[in-house]
């Protein structure tokens, strides 16, 4: 009897399972014993193949979708296939060239870059491409400026290293003149450019606690402005999704109720964002097959992701969502290479600070 976890498959069983899954991934149809006998290259009788298939079915690695002799892999079988029955190769150079050529070559905002990556993943895999959007404050500050507004308000303009601009309106207890605002901007730009907002808040707190600090000496009237400019902002991460309609082309996902649940998940984003944030916390490639994701809407899907980042910090994850019947040996390297190129682009942007 085969170990239920599939660890003790002998050479014949592994070869037959690999052959069955490879055939199923191509045409999506149950694979019969005769097909396996011809395709596997094993010199065994059809009866022996049927016995091995019965053992694989008992182990939960394959299943018979109806009364015919053909079988299809289960999510557990696909997991074993990906983990130990295929050898992943680096993405071919031609596809690496295509990836590089499709990404923006010059300076661009992170949001534009991520949108390109999501669309590119969808185009290269014909699945849905997904990319998490990091918090803006995860990027170093490039420049800060202040614009006076009526009623003791100030428009704070924060420019980050990824070329994104964030505007905040700060309400002060009393109005500040243009000279004071210029002095505040000059000081903050000289002291805090290149730091992330969380680090700036920590530095500000330390300086404000030191009675003789330069901040207190030069900006006694603008301490309130300096603190408010970098106060935590409401709002969390987001996720971009491209190519959702690609999934309508796959018969496994063609059920209207399933599609409705899946598209609702894309629209609401909450569960998808939770899953992607879990993926971003782990290095390398993550793969969820079927119900492994823990979200009902994705039960009939596989999710392949890889984390990306810059300057040694993980910022998010990129990936694709498609049917469980996907060419894993191609999709995984595409996702992995895309995450690497995205990280390279963000690192280049950071060095221009």
Alpha-carbon separation of residue 298 from 272, 292, 294 (angstroms) = 9, 9, 8
User: Which residue in 136, 130, 132, 189 sits closest to 165, CA to CA?
Assistant: 136
SS3 213: coil
The domains located in the chain, with CATH, are: 11-85 (1.10.10.10), 93-134+237-351 (3.30.450.40), 138-229 (3.30.390.60)
Per-residue pLDDT tens listing for the chain (353 residues)? 334 444 578 888 999 999 999 999 988 889 988 888 888 888 788 788 889 999 999 999 999 887 666 899 999 999 999 998 888 888 889 889 988 888 876 667 788 889 999 999 999 999 999 999 887 777 888 899 999 999 888 999 998 887 788 888 988 888 888 888 888 899 889 888 888 888 888 888 777 666 566 666 666 666 778 788 888 766 556 889 999 999 988 888 878 888 888 888 888 888 888 899 888 888 789 999 999 988 888 888 999 999 998 888 888 999 999 999 999 999 999 999 999 999 998 887 766 55
Look up residue 11 and give its two tokens. 């050479």
* Residues whose CB is less than 8 angstroms from the CB of residue 107 and which lie 6 or more positions away in sequence, other chains included: 163, 349, 352
Closest CA to 86 of 17, 135, 177: 17
The reported pTM is: 0.78
Can you give the pLDDT at residue 118? Answer: 93
- d(C-alpha 4, C-alpha 57), whole Å: 10
């Amino acid at each position: 009897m085969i170990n239920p976890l599939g660890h003790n498959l002998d050479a014949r069983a592994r070869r037959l399972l690999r052959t069955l899954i490879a055939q199923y991934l191509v045409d999506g149809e149950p694979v019969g014993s005769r097909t396996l006998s011809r395709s596997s290259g094993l010199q065994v009788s059809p009866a022996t193949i049927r016995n091995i298939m019965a053992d694989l079915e008992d182990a939960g690695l394959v299943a018979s979708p109806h009364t015919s002799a053909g079988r299809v892999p289960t999510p557990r079988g696909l997991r074993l296939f990906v983990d130990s029955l295929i050898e992943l190769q680096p993405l071919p150079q031609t596809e690496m060239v295509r990836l590089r050529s499709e990404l923006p070559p010059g300076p661009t905002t992170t949001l534009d870059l991520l949108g390109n990556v999501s669309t590119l993943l969808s185009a290269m895999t014909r699945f849905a491409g997904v990319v998490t959007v990091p918090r803006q404050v995860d990027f170093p500050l490039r420049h800060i400026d202040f614009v006076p507004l009526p009623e003791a308000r100030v428009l704070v303009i924060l420019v980050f290293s990824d070329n994104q601009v964030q505007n905040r309106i700060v309400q002060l207890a009393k109005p500040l003149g243009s000279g004071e605002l210029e002095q505040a901007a000059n000081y903050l730009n000289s002291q805090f450019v290149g730091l992330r907002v969380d680090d700036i808040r920590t530095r500000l707190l330390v300086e404000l606690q030191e009675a003789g600090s330069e901040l207190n000496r030069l900006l006694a009237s603008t301490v309130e402005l300096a603190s408010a400019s970098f106060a935590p902002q409401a709002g969390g991460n987001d996720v971009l999704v491209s190519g959702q309609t690609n999934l309508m082309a796959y018969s496994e996902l063609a059920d209207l109720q399933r599609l409705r649940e899946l598209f609702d998940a894309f629209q609401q984003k909450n569960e998808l964002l939770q899953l992607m944030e879990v993926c971003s916390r782990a290095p390398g490639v993550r793969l969820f097959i079927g119900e492994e994701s823990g979200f009902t809407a994705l039960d009939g899907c596989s999710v392949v992701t890889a984390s990306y980042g810059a300057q040694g910090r993980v910022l998010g994850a990129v990936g694709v969502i498609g049917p469980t019947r996907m060419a894993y040996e191609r999709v995984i390297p595409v996702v992995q290479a895309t995450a690497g190129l995205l990280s390279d682009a963000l690192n280049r942007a950071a060095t221009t600070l």
